[in-house]
Chain A
Amino acid sequence: MMRMQPNPAFSGNPVSAHSGSTGAAIAIELSDVSVTFGRGERAVPALSRTTLRIGDGEFIALVGPSGCGKSTILRLVAGLVQPTTGVVILGGREVAAKALRIGMAFQNPTMLPWLTIEQNIMLPLKIVEPYRSQFRKLRRTTFRDKANALLEQVGLKGFARRFPWQLSGGMLQRANLCRALIHEPRMLLLDEPFGALDQFTREELWSILQELWILHQPTVVLVTHDLREAGFLGSRICVLSARPGRLLDDRRVTFARPRTVAMTFEPDFVALNQRLREFIVGERTTAAEGVI
Protein backbone atom coordinates (compact mmCIF):
# COMPACT_ATOMS: atom_id res chain seq x y z
CA MET A 1 0.00 0.00 0.00
CA MET A 2 1.22 3.47 -0.84
CA ARG A 3 2.05 5.47 2.15
CA MET A 4 1.31 9.18 2.02
CA GLN A 5 4.55 11.03 2.31
CA PRO A 6 4.02 14.30 4.14
CA ASN A 7 5.40 17.38 2.50
CA PRO A 8 8.19 18.38 4.85
CA ALA A 9 7.81 22.05 4.00
CA PHE A 10 4.37 22.13 5.55
CA SER A 11 3.82 19.31 7.90
CA GLY A 12 6.85 19.44 10.01
CA ASN A 13 10.56 18.82 10.26
CA PRO A 14 11.92 16.45 12.81
CA VAL A 15 13.66 18.27 15.63
CA SER A 16 16.78 16.64 16.95
CA ALA A 17 16.61 16.22 20.68
CA HIS A 18 19.73 18.23 21.23
CA SER A 19 19.28 20.94 18.69
CA GLY A 20 17.15 23.00 21.03
CA SER A 21 14.69 25.37 19.47
CA THR A 22 14.79 28.30 17.12
CA GLY A 23 17.81 29.72 18.84
CA ALA A 24 15.67 31.67 21.29
CA ALA A 25 16.32 31.31 25.02
CA ILE A 26 15.50 27.93 26.47
CA ALA A 27 12.48 28.03 28.74
CA ILE A 28 12.26 24.40 29.79
CA GLU A 29 14.93 21.79 29.72
CA LEU A 30 14.51 18.18 30.77
CA SER A 31 17.81 16.39 30.65
CA ASP A 32 17.80 12.65 30.95
CA VAL A 33 14.83 12.76 33.26
CA SER A 34 13.08 9.65 34.47
CA VAL A 35 10.27 9.38 36.97
CA THR A 36 9.26 6.31 38.91
CA PHE A 37 6.29 6.30 41.24
CA GLY A 38 6.40 4.05 44.29
CA ARG A 39 9.26 1.85 45.39
CA GLY A 40 10.44 -1.73 45.24
CA GLU A 41 8.11 -4.22 43.60
CA ARG A 42 5.34 -1.70 43.33
CA ALA A 43 7.47 0.82 41.48
CA VAL A 44 5.78 2.14 38.36
CA PRO A 45 8.06 3.77 35.83
CA ALA A 46 6.18 6.71 34.37
CA LEU A 47 8.83 8.35 32.27
CA SER A 48 12.12 6.93 31.12
CA ARG A 49 15.22 8.97 30.35
CA THR A 50 13.64 11.79 28.45
CA THR A 51 15.55 14.75 27.14
CA LEU A 52 13.55 17.66 25.86
CA ARG A 53 14.30 21.32 25.29
CA ILE A 54 11.58 23.85 24.85
CA GLY A 55 12.37 27.34 23.67
CA ASP A 56 10.90 30.52 25.09
CA GLY A 57 7.53 31.28 23.48
CA GLU A 58 7.17 27.88 21.83
CA PHE A 59 3.85 26.07 21.72
CA ILE A 60 4.54 22.39 22.35
CA ALA A 61 1.86 19.75 21.95
CA LEU A 62 2.55 16.47 23.74
CA VAL A 63 0.67 13.54 22.28
CA GLY A 64 0.75 9.83 22.97
CA PRO A 65 -1.33 6.91 24.17
CA SER A 66 -3.06 7.28 27.51
CA GLY A 67 -0.93 6.73 30.57
CA CYS A 68 2.27 7.49 28.70
CA GLY A 69 3.62 10.10 31.07
CA LYS A 70 2.43 13.21 29.24
CA SER A 71 0.91 14.59 32.39
CA THR A 72 4.02 13.59 34.31
CA ILE A 73 6.07 15.90 32.11
CA LEU A 74 3.67 18.74 32.88
CA ARG A 75 3.84 18.04 36.57
CA LEU A 76 7.64 17.92 36.41
CA VAL A 77 7.72 21.33 34.80
CA ALA A 78 5.25 22.72 37.33
CA GLY A 79 7.41 21.38 40.14
CA LEU A 80 4.62 19.13 41.40
CA VAL A 81 6.68 15.99 40.81
CA GLN A 82 10.39 15.60 41.42
CA PRO A 83 12.46 13.67 38.87
CA THR A 84 13.79 10.31 40.06
CA THR A 85 16.89 10.85 37.96
CA GLY A 86 18.03 13.72 35.80
CA VAL A 87 17.28 17.41 36.16
CA VAL A 88 14.57 19.82 35.15
CA ILE A 89 15.79 23.30 34.38
CA LEU A 90 13.40 26.18 33.92
CA GLY A 91 14.53 29.49 32.46
CA GLY A 92 18.15 28.48 32.94
CA ARG A 93 17.74 27.47 36.59
CA GLU A 94 16.91 24.22 38.28
CA VAL A 95 13.19 23.96 38.79
CA ALA A 96 11.83 26.34 41.39
CA ALA A 97 8.26 26.67 40.24
CA LYS A 98 7.45 29.16 42.98
CA ALA A 99 9.54 31.83 41.38
CA LEU A 100 8.01 31.16 37.98
CA ARG A 101 4.31 31.50 38.77
CA ILE A 102 3.25 29.06 36.09
CA GLY A 103 -0.30 29.19 34.75
CA MET A 104 -2.00 25.81 34.68
CA ALA A 105 -5.33 24.53 33.39
CA PHE A 106 -6.86 21.07 33.51
CA GLN A 107 -9.78 19.32 31.90
CA ASN A 108 -11.72 19.99 35.08
CA PRO A 109 -12.17 23.78 35.17
CA THR A 110 -12.17 23.83 39.02
CA MET A 111 -13.85 27.20 39.38
CA LEU A 112 -14.55 27.90 43.05
CA PRO A 113 -18.34 27.82 43.40
CA TRP A 114 -18.54 30.56 46.04
CA LEU A 115 -16.83 33.16 43.85
CA THR A 116 -18.08 34.91 40.73
CA ILE A 117 -16.29 34.22 37.43
CA GLU A 118 -14.45 37.51 37.78
CA GLN A 119 -13.32 36.71 41.32
CA ASN A 120 -12.31 33.22 40.24
CA ILE A 121 -10.17 34.61 37.47
CA MET A 122 -8.50 37.04 39.85
CA LEU A 123 -7.48 34.21 42.20
CA PRO A 124 -3.86 34.00 40.92
CA LEU A 125 -3.49 37.72 41.64
CA LYS A 126 -4.17 36.96 45.29
CA ILE A 127 -1.27 34.49 45.30
CA VAL A 128 1.39 35.82 42.99
CA GLU A 129 3.64 38.82 43.52
CA PRO A 130 3.75 41.66 42.58
CA TYR A 131 -0.06 41.57 42.41
CA ARG A 132 -0.48 39.97 45.80
CA SER A 133 0.59 42.94 47.88
CA GLN A 134 -1.62 45.27 45.84
CA PHE A 135 -4.62 43.00 45.75
CA ARG A 136 -6.71 44.74 48.38
CA LYS A 137 -6.07 48.10 46.83
CA LEU A 138 -6.60 47.24 43.19
CA ARG A 139 -9.10 44.40 43.17
CA ARG A 140 -12.02 46.69 42.41
CA THR A 141 -10.21 48.75 39.79
CA THR A 142 -7.15 47.73 37.81
CA PHE A 143 -7.38 44.03 38.51
CA ARG A 144 -11.06 43.85 37.74
CA ASP A 145 -10.45 45.65 34.43
CA LYS A 146 -7.69 43.20 33.67
CA ALA A 147 -10.00 40.25 34.32
CA ASN A 148 -12.74 41.77 32.21
CA ALA A 149 -10.38 42.48 29.32
CA LEU A 150 -9.37 38.79 29.30
CA LEU A 151 -12.99 37.67 29.56
CA GLU A 152 -13.80 39.81 26.56
CA GLN A 153 -10.97 38.20 24.59
CA VAL A 154 -12.47 34.75 25.14
CA GLY A 155 -16.03 35.86 24.40
CA LEU A 156 -17.31 35.93 27.96
CA LYS A 157 -18.09 39.61 28.13
CA GLY A 158 -21.05 40.13 30.43
CA PHE A 159 -20.51 36.95 32.41
CA ALA A 160 -18.06 38.39 34.91
CA ARG A 161 -20.55 38.62 37.75
CA ARG A 162 -22.12 35.22 37.15
CA PHE A 163 -21.36 32.25 39.33
CA PRO A 164 -19.70 29.15 37.86
CA TRP A 165 -22.84 27.01 38.01
CA GLN A 166 -24.58 29.46 35.71
CA LEU A 167 -22.11 28.77 32.89
CA SER A 168 -21.83 25.84 30.48
CA GLY A 169 -18.81 23.55 30.33
CA GLY A 170 -17.35 25.37 27.36
CA MET A 171 -17.75 28.75 29.02
CA LEU A 172 -16.11 27.48 32.20
CA GLN A 173 -13.17 26.24 30.18
CA ARG A 174 -12.79 29.71 28.63
CA ALA A 175 -12.80 31.17 32.11
CA ASN A 176 -10.24 28.56 33.10
CA LEU A 177 -7.91 29.80 30.35
CA CYS A 178 -8.39 33.36 31.61
CA ARG A 179 -7.46 32.31 35.12
CA ALA A 180 -4.34 30.60 33.85
CA LEU A 181 -3.29 33.78 32.00
CA ILE A 182 -4.32 36.66 34.26
CA HIS A 183 -1.00 37.00 36.03
CA GLU A 184 0.82 37.08 32.69
CA PRO A 185 2.78 33.88 33.23
CA ARG A 186 5.73 33.18 31.00
CA MET A 187 4.69 29.57 30.99
CA LEU A 188 1.31 27.96 30.47
CA LEU A 189 0.75 24.27 31.14
CA LEU A 190 -2.44 22.75 29.78
CA ASP A 191 -3.49 19.20 30.60
CA GLU A 192 -6.16 18.15 28.11
CA PRO A 193 -8.07 21.36 28.72
CA PHE A 194 -10.68 20.65 26.04
CA GLY A 195 -11.02 16.91 26.61
CA ALA A 196 -14.53 17.05 28.02
CA LEU A 197 -16.00 19.39 25.42
CA ASP A 198 -18.00 18.67 22.29
CA GLN A 199 -16.31 18.94 18.89
CA PHE A 200 -17.62 22.38 17.94
CA THR A 201 -16.88 24.03 21.26
CA ARG A 202 -13.45 22.48 21.18
CA GLU A 203 -12.65 23.88 17.74
CA GLU A 204 -13.87 27.29 18.83
CA LEU A 205 -11.60 27.18 21.86
CA TRP A 206 -8.61 26.16 19.73
CA SER A 207 -8.96 29.44 17.88
CA ILE A 208 -9.34 31.36 21.12
CA LEU A 209 -6.28 29.72 22.65
CA GLN A 210 -4.32 30.42 19.47
CA GLU A 211 -5.28 34.09 19.64
CA LEU A 212 -4.33 34.27 23.30
CA TRP A 213 -0.99 32.67 22.53
CA ILE A 214 -0.26 35.04 19.64
CA LEU A 215 -1.21 37.97 21.85
CA HIS A 216 0.61 37.04 25.08
CA GLN A 217 3.39 34.81 23.70
CA PRO A 218 3.84 32.51 26.70
CA THR A 219 5.66 29.21 26.43
CA VAL A 220 2.88 26.63 26.23
CA VAL A 221 2.97 22.92 26.88
CA LEU A 222 -0.29 21.30 25.86
CA VAL A 223 -1.04 17.67 26.67
CA THR A 224 -3.69 16.22 24.40
CA HIS A 225 -5.11 13.03 22.97
CA ASP A 226 -6.43 14.83 19.95
CA LEU A 227 -4.02 14.81 17.00
CA ARG A 228 -5.99 17.49 15.14
CA GLU A 229 -5.75 19.67 18.22
CA ALA A 230 -2.00 19.10 18.37
CA GLY A 231 -1.59 20.00 14.70
CA PHE A 232 -3.82 23.04 14.92
CA LEU A 233 -2.24 24.56 18.00
CA GLY A 234 1.32 23.29 18.25
CA SER A 235 4.35 24.95 16.82
CA ARG A 236 6.04 21.68 17.67
CA ILE A 237 4.64 18.22 18.39
CA CYS A 238 6.28 15.64 20.61
CA VAL A 239 5.05 12.05 20.46
CA LEU A 240 5.55 9.92 23.55
CA SER A 241 5.53 6.13 23.68
CA ALA A 242 3.37 4.00 25.94
CA ARG A 243 4.36 3.77 29.59
CA PRO A 244 7.10 4.25 30.56
CA GLY A 245 7.12 7.28 28.29
CA ARG A 246 9.92 7.82 25.81
CA LEU A 247 10.15 10.48 23.18
CA LEU A 248 9.30 8.82 19.83
CA ASP A 249 9.10 11.79 17.57
CA ASP A 250 9.62 15.50 17.78
CA ARG A 251 8.67 17.70 14.85
CA ARG A 252 8.07 21.30 14.06
CA VAL A 253 4.73 22.34 12.61
CA THR A 254 5.08 25.16 10.17
CA PHE A 255 1.55 25.90 8.99
CA ALA A 256 1.01 29.63 8.84
CA ARG A 257 -0.82 31.35 11.67
CA PRO A 258 -3.50 32.14 12.49
CA ARG A 259 -4.58 28.65 11.56
CA THR A 260 -8.20 27.90 10.78
CA VAL A 261 -10.38 24.89 11.38
CA ALA A 262 -10.89 24.55 7.61
CA MET A 263 -7.14 24.10 7.32
CA THR A 264 -7.29 20.93 9.37
CA PHE A 265 -9.02 19.20 6.44
CA GLU A 266 -6.36 20.09 3.89
CA PRO A 267 -4.12 17.29 2.58
CA ASP A 268 -0.93 18.48 4.27
CA PHE A 269 -2.61 18.63 7.64
CA VAL A 270 -4.27 15.25 7.16
CA ALA A 271 -0.91 13.80 6.17
CA LEU A 272 0.66 15.15 9.36
CA ASN A 273 -2.11 13.59 11.39
CA GLN A 274 -1.64 10.31 9.57
CA ARG A 275 2.06 10.36 10.37
CA LEU A 276 1.51 11.04 14.06
CA ARG A 277 -1.11 8.35 14.21
CA GLU A 278 1.31 5.82 12.77
CA PHE A 279 3.79 6.56 15.51
CA ILE A 280 1.23 5.95 18.22
CA VAL A 281 -0.57 2.99 16.65
CA GLY A 282 2.70 1.41 15.48
CA GLU A 283 4.08 1.72 18.96
CA ARG A 284 1.03 0.02 20.32
CA THR A 285 1.31 -2.99 17.97
CA THR A 286 4.98 -3.57 18.71
CA ALA A 287 4.26 -3.34 22.41
CA ALA A 288 1.46 -5.89 22.01
CA GLU A 289 3.76 -8.29 20.18
CA GLY A 290 6.36 -7.93 22.85
CA VAL A 291 8.90 -6.62 20.34
CA ILE A 292 11.04 -3.75 21.45
Chain B
Amino acid sequence: MRATDFRQKAWSAALIVLFFVGWEFFCLVTGMSDLVLPRPSQIIATLVTRFPVLWPHIIQTLATTMAGFVLGVALGVVLGAVIGVSRTAYDTAYPLLVGFSSIPKVALVPIFVLWFGSGTVPAVLTSLSICFFPIVVNIATGLATTEPEMEDVLKALGASKFDILWNVGLPRTMPFFFASLKVAISYAFVGAVLSETVASNRGIGNVMMTASSNFNVPLVFAGLFVLAGLGVALYAAFAIIEKRVTGWATRKNDLITT
Protein backbone atom coordinates (compact mmCIF):
# COMPACT_ATOMS: atom_id res chain seq x y z
CA MET B 1 0.00 0.00 0.00
CA ARG B 2 2.60 2.51 1.15
CA ALA B 3 5.10 1.46 -1.52
CA THR B 4 2.68 1.99 -4.40
CA ASP B 5 1.64 5.30 -2.85
CA PHE B 6 5.22 6.45 -2.81
CA ARG B 7 5.86 5.27 -6.36
CA GLN B 8 2.77 7.16 -7.52
CA LYS B 9 4.03 10.37 -5.91
CA ALA B 10 7.49 9.88 -7.39
CA TRP B 11 6.00 9.55 -10.87
CA SER B 12 3.92 12.70 -10.38
CA ALA B 13 6.99 14.64 -9.28
CA ALA B 14 9.00 13.27 -12.19
CA LEU B 15 6.30 14.36 -14.63
CA ILE B 16 6.35 17.92 -13.25
CA VAL B 17 10.15 18.13 -13.50
CA LEU B 18 10.03 16.64 -16.98
CA PHE B 19 7.46 19.22 -18.04
CA PHE B 20 9.68 22.17 -17.03
CA VAL B 21 12.88 20.60 -18.37
CA GLY B 22 11.09 19.92 -21.67
CA TRP B 23 9.83 23.51 -21.76
CA GLU B 24 13.32 24.90 -21.09
CA PHE B 25 14.84 22.62 -23.68
CA PHE B 26 12.20 23.46 -26.28
CA CYS B 27 12.86 27.23 -25.91
CA LEU B 28 16.63 26.75 -26.13
CA VAL B 29 16.47 24.52 -29.21
CA THR B 30 13.95 26.64 -31.14
CA GLY B 31 15.58 29.93 -30.03
CA MET B 32 12.17 31.12 -28.86
CA SER B 33 12.02 34.85 -28.06
CA ASP B 34 11.26 35.57 -24.41
CA LEU B 35 8.60 37.99 -25.65
CA VAL B 36 6.60 34.97 -26.75
CA LEU B 37 7.50 32.22 -24.32
CA PRO B 38 10.19 32.82 -21.70
CA ARG B 39 12.16 29.87 -20.36
CA PRO B 40 11.26 28.57 -16.88
CA SER B 41 14.73 29.55 -15.63
CA GLN B 42 14.11 33.16 -16.73
CA ILE B 43 10.73 33.15 -15.07
CA ILE B 44 12.15 31.86 -11.81
CA ALA B 45 14.91 34.47 -11.97
CA THR B 46 12.35 37.23 -12.51
CA LEU B 47 10.28 35.87 -9.69
CA VAL B 48 13.23 35.98 -7.32
CA THR B 49 14.51 39.45 -8.30
CA ARG B 50 11.04 41.03 -8.39
CA PHE B 51 9.78 39.26 -5.30
CA PRO B 52 9.88 42.33 -3.00
CA VAL B 53 7.68 44.16 -5.50
CA LEU B 54 5.38 41.18 -5.99
CA TRP B 55 4.92 40.44 -2.28
CA PRO B 56 2.29 43.13 -1.43
CA HIS B 57 0.34 42.08 -4.51
CA ILE B 58 0.44 38.45 -3.42
CA ILE B 59 -0.89 39.49 -0.03
CA GLN B 60 -3.58 41.59 -1.70
CA THR B 61 -4.75 38.73 -3.91
CA LEU B 62 -4.64 36.26 -1.06
CA ALA B 63 -6.58 38.61 1.22
CA THR B 64 -9.33 39.35 -1.32
CA THR B 65 -9.58 35.66 -2.16
CA MET B 66 -9.91 34.65 1.49
CA ALA B 67 -12.40 37.43 2.22
CA GLY B 68 -14.54 36.41 -0.76
CA PHE B 69 -14.18 32.77 0.17
CA VAL B 70 -15.14 33.20 3.82
CA LEU B 71 -18.17 35.33 2.94
CA GLY B 72 -19.11 32.91 0.15
CA VAL B 73 -18.88 29.93 2.50
CA ALA B 74 -20.95 31.68 5.17
CA LEU B 75 -23.62 32.64 2.65
CA GLY B 76 -23.46 29.23 1.01
CA VAL B 77 -23.85 27.31 4.28
CA VAL B 78 -26.82 29.38 5.40
CA LEU B 79 -28.58 29.16 2.03
CA GLY B 80 -27.71 25.49 1.66
CA ALA B 81 -29.04 24.68 5.13
CA VAL B 82 -32.30 26.55 4.51
CA ILE B 83 -32.81 24.91 1.16
CA GLY B 84 -31.68 21.47 2.28
CA VAL B 85 -33.94 21.22 5.32
CA SER B 86 -37.17 21.90 3.48
CA ARG B 87 -38.18 20.13 0.31
CA THR B 88 -40.44 23.06 -0.63
CA ALA B 89 -37.66 25.59 -0.24
CA TYR B 90 -35.41 23.33 -2.30
CA ASP B 91 -37.86 23.10 -5.18
CA THR B 92 -38.76 26.79 -5.00
CA ALA B 93 -35.30 28.28 -4.83
CA TYR B 94 -33.45 25.91 -7.13
CA PRO B 95 -34.38 27.50 -10.50
CA LEU B 96 -33.33 30.96 -9.28
CA LEU B 97 -30.02 29.62 -8.02
CA VAL B 98 -29.33 27.80 -11.25
CA GLY B 99 -30.15 30.98 -13.15
CA PHE B 100 -27.77 32.96 -11.01
CA SER B 101 -24.99 30.41 -11.24
CA SER B 102 -25.14 30.31 -15.01
CA ILE B 103 -24.29 34.02 -15.35
CA PRO B 104 -20.64 34.30 -16.38
CA LYS B 105 -19.19 36.05 -13.33
CA VAL B 106 -16.91 38.17 -15.52
CA ALA B 107 -20.04 40.03 -16.51
CA LEU B 108 -20.65 41.00 -12.90
CA VAL B 109 -17.34 42.82 -12.47
CA PRO B 110 -18.37 46.00 -14.35
CA ILE B 111 -21.53 46.15 -12.24
CA PHE B 112 -19.60 45.81 -8.98
CA VAL B 113 -17.17 48.48 -10.20
CA LEU B 114 -20.10 50.73 -11.03
CA TRP B 115 -21.46 50.29 -7.51
CA PHE B 116 -18.32 50.22 -5.41
CA GLY B 117 -15.54 51.68 -7.56
CA SER B 118 -12.51 49.69 -8.65
CA GLY B 119 -10.21 47.93 -6.19
CA THR B 120 -10.71 45.50 -3.35
CA VAL B 121 -14.49 45.48 -2.95
CA PRO B 122 -15.39 44.26 -6.45
CA ALA B 123 -12.66 41.62 -6.19
CA VAL B 124 -14.10 40.29 -2.93
CA LEU B 125 -17.64 40.36 -4.33
CA THR B 126 -16.68 38.60 -7.56
CA SER B 127 -14.87 35.99 -5.57
CA LEU B 128 -17.89 35.54 -3.29
CA SER B 129 -20.39 35.31 -6.11
CA ILE B 130 -18.36 32.71 -7.95
CA CYS B 131 -17.63 30.44 -4.99
CA PHE B 132 -20.87 30.29 -3.00
CA PHE B 133 -22.85 28.19 -5.44
CA PRO B 134 -20.99 24.88 -5.11
CA ILE B 135 -21.30 25.23 -1.33
CA VAL B 136 -25.05 25.78 -1.48
CA VAL B 137 -25.58 22.80 -3.75
CA ASN B 138 -23.44 20.46 -1.69
CA ILE B 139 -24.84 21.43 1.69
CA ALA B 140 -28.39 21.21 0.39
CA THR B 141 -27.77 17.83 -1.21
CA GLY B 142 -26.10 16.47 1.90
CA LEU B 143 -29.04 17.49 4.06
CA ALA B 144 -31.70 16.42 1.60
CA THR B 145 -30.28 12.90 1.29
CA THR B 146 -30.58 12.05 4.99
CA GLU B 147 -32.08 8.56 5.22
CA PRO B 148 -35.82 8.85 5.93
CA GLU B 149 -35.66 5.84 8.28
CA MET B 150 -33.04 7.61 10.36
CA GLU B 151 -35.30 10.63 10.63
CA ASP B 152 -38.22 8.43 11.63
CA VAL B 153 -36.18 6.73 14.33
CA LEU B 154 -35.25 10.11 15.79
CA LYS B 155 -38.72 11.62 15.46
CA ALA B 156 -40.19 8.61 17.24
CA LEU B 157 -37.78 9.39 20.08
CA GLY B 158 -39.21 12.89 20.19
CA ALA B 159 -36.25 14.61 18.56
CA SER B 160 -36.71 18.19 17.42
CA LYS B 161 -35.77 19.36 13.93
CA PHE B 162 -32.67 20.90 15.43
CA ASP B 163 -31.69 17.62 17.12
CA ILE B 164 -31.91 15.85 13.79
CA LEU B 165 -29.96 18.57 12.01
CA TRP B 166 -27.26 18.63 14.67
CA ASN B 167 -26.81 14.89 15.17
CA VAL B 168 -27.43 13.58 11.68
CA GLY B 169 -27.85 16.25 9.02
CA LEU B 170 -24.75 18.34 9.63
CA PRO B 171 -22.19 15.56 10.24
CA ARG B 172 -23.57 13.79 7.22
CA THR B 173 -23.05 16.92 5.14
CA MET B 174 -19.40 17.30 6.11
CA PRO B 175 -17.90 15.21 3.26
CA PHE B 176 -20.04 17.13 0.77
CA PHE B 177 -19.09 20.39 2.45
CA PHE B 178 -15.35 19.80 2.37
CA ALA B 179 -15.46 18.50 -1.17
CA SER B 180 -17.19 21.75 -2.09
CA LEU B 181 -14.65 23.83 -0.13
CA LYS B 182 -11.86 22.53 -2.36
CA VAL B 183 -13.81 23.58 -5.43
CA ALA B 184 -14.90 26.87 -3.87
CA ILE B 185 -11.41 27.98 -2.86
CA SER B 186 -10.20 27.54 -6.42
CA TYR B 187 -13.23 29.42 -7.72
CA ALA B 188 -12.76 32.23 -5.19
CA PHE B 189 -9.20 32.60 -6.40
CA VAL B 190 -10.32 32.78 -10.02
CA GLY B 191 -12.91 35.41 -9.09
CA ALA B 192 -10.44 37.62 -7.25
CA VAL B 193 -7.80 37.51 -9.99
CA LEU B 194 -10.44 38.09 -12.65
CA SER B 195 -11.67 41.22 -10.97
CA GLU B 196 -8.13 42.48 -10.33
CA THR B 197 -7.32 42.01 -13.98
CA VAL B 198 -10.29 44.08 -15.08
CA ALA B 199 -10.53 46.74 -12.44
CA SER B 200 -7.89 47.21 -9.79
CA ASN B 201 -4.48 48.75 -9.30
CA ARG B 202 -3.36 46.07 -6.89
CA GLY B 203 -3.07 42.29 -6.84
CA ILE B 204 -1.39 39.68 -8.99
CA GLY B 205 -4.04 40.00 -11.69
CA ASN B 206 -3.23 43.69 -12.02
CA VAL B 207 0.54 43.01 -12.03
CA MET B 208 0.11 40.61 -14.92
CA MET B 209 -2.07 43.06 -16.83
CA THR B 210 0.44 45.88 -16.40
CA ALA B 211 3.41 43.65 -17.22
CA SER B 212 1.78 42.43 -20.39
CA SER B 213 1.09 45.95 -21.61
CA ASN B 214 4.81 46.69 -21.00
CA PHE B 215 5.79 43.53 -22.87
CA ASN B 216 7.48 42.30 -19.70
CA VAL B 217 6.56 38.74 -20.59
CA PRO B 218 8.77 37.00 -17.98
CA LEU B 219 6.93 38.98 -15.28
CA VAL B 220 3.55 37.91 -16.71
CA PHE B 221 4.66 34.33 -16.43
CA ALA B 222 6.10 34.95 -12.99
CA GLY B 223 2.60 36.13 -11.97
CA LEU B 224 1.18 32.97 -13.47
CA PHE B 225 3.60 30.87 -11.42
CA VAL B 226 2.60 32.70 -8.26
CA LEU B 227 -1.07 32.07 -9.02
CA ALA B 228 -0.44 28.39 -9.68
CA GLY B 229 1.55 28.11 -6.45
CA LEU B 230 -1.14 29.85 -4.38
CA GLY B 231 -3.90 27.82 -5.98
CA VAL B 232 -2.16 24.53 -5.25
CA ALA B 233 -1.34 25.60 -1.68
CA LEU B 234 -4.94 26.58 -0.91
CA TYR B 235 -6.32 23.43 -2.49
CA ALA B 236 -3.86 21.28 -0.57
CA ALA B 237 -4.69 23.00 2.72
CA PHE B 238 -8.39 22.17 2.32
CA ALA B 239 -7.66 18.66 1.11
CA ILE B 240 -5.73 18.03 4.34
CA ILE B 241 -8.51 19.47 6.50
CA GLU B 242 -11.03 17.37 4.60
CA LYS B 243 -9.07 14.21 5.22
CA ARG B 244 -8.87 14.91 8.92
CA VAL B 245 -12.50 15.80 9.44
CA THR B 246 -14.26 13.35 7.17
CA GLY B 247 -11.98 10.34 7.08
CA TRP B 248 -15.01 8.13 7.73
CA ALA B 249 -16.41 8.91 4.30
CA THR B 250 -13.32 7.78 2.41
CA ARG B 251 -12.87 4.47 4.19
CA LYS B 252 -10.56 1.96 2.65
CA ASN B 253 -10.93 -1.78 2.28
CA ASP B 254 -7.87 -2.35 4.42
CA LEU B 255 -9.89 -1.29 7.46
CA ILE B 256 -12.24 -4.23 7.16
CA THR B 257 -11.45 -6.78 9.81
CA THR B 258 -13.43 -9.50 11.49
Interface residues of A (CB under 8 A from B): 75, 78-80, 97-106, 108, 110, 112-114, 123-124, 126-128, 163, 165-166, 179-180, 183, 189
A128 to B154, CA, bound (A): 10
Q: Does B36 contact A (CB under 8 A)?
A: no
Specify which chain A residues have a CB less than 8 angstroms from the CB of B257 in the assembled complex: 166
User: When each residue 128-159 of chain B gets 1 if its CB lies under 8 Å from chain A and 0 otherwise, what string results?
Assistant: 00000000000000000001011011111111
A104:B255 contact, CB within 8 angstroms: no
Specify which chain B residues have a CB less than 8 angstroms from the CB of A189 in the assembled complex: 156
**Interface segment out of the listed B7-15, B117-125, B163-171, B202-210:** B163-171
Q: Does B248 contact A (CB under 8 A)?
A: yes
Q: Does B228 contact A (CB under 8 A)?
A: no
Distance to closest chain B CB from A105 (angstroms): 7
The residue of chain A having its C-beta at the shortest distance from the C-beta of B152 within the complex is: A80
A112:B152 contact, CB within 8 angstroms: no
Interface residues of B (CB under 8 A from A): 147, 149-150, 152-159, 163, 167-168, 171-172, 174, 246, 248-249, 251, 255-257
Assuming A127-B167, A163-B248, A166-B256, is B157 touching A110 (CB within 8 A)?
no
B156:A97 contact, CB within 8 angstroms: yes
Assuming A106-B149, A127-B163, A165-B251, is B156 touching A112 (CB within 8 A)?
no
Consensus secondary structure, chain A interface: mixed
Consensus secondary structure, chain B interface: helix
B158:A105 contact, CB within 8 angstroms: no
A99 to B156, CA, bound (A): 10
A78 to B155, CA, bound (A): 8
Specify which chain B residues have a CB less than 8 angstroms from the CB of A98 in the assembled complex: 158
B155:A79 contact, CB within 8 angstroms: yes
Distance to closest chain B CB from A216 (angstroms): 16
B158:A112 contact, CB within 8 angstroms: no
Distance to closest chain A CB from B76 (angstroms): 22
A108 to B155, CA, bound (A): 16
Distance to closest chain B CB from A199 (angstroms): 21
Assuming A80-B152, A123-B167, is B256 touching A101 (CB within 8 A)?
no
Which residue, of A102, A103, A127, A163, has the highest number of chain B Cβ atoms within 10 A? A127
A102 to B152, CA, bound (A): 10
Assuming A127-B167, A166-B256, is B157 touching A102 (CB within 8 A)?
yes
B153:A110 contact, CB within 8 angstroms: yes
A183 to B159, CA, bound (A): 13
A269 to B152, CA, bound (A): 34
Distance to closest chain B CB from A143 (angstroms): 15
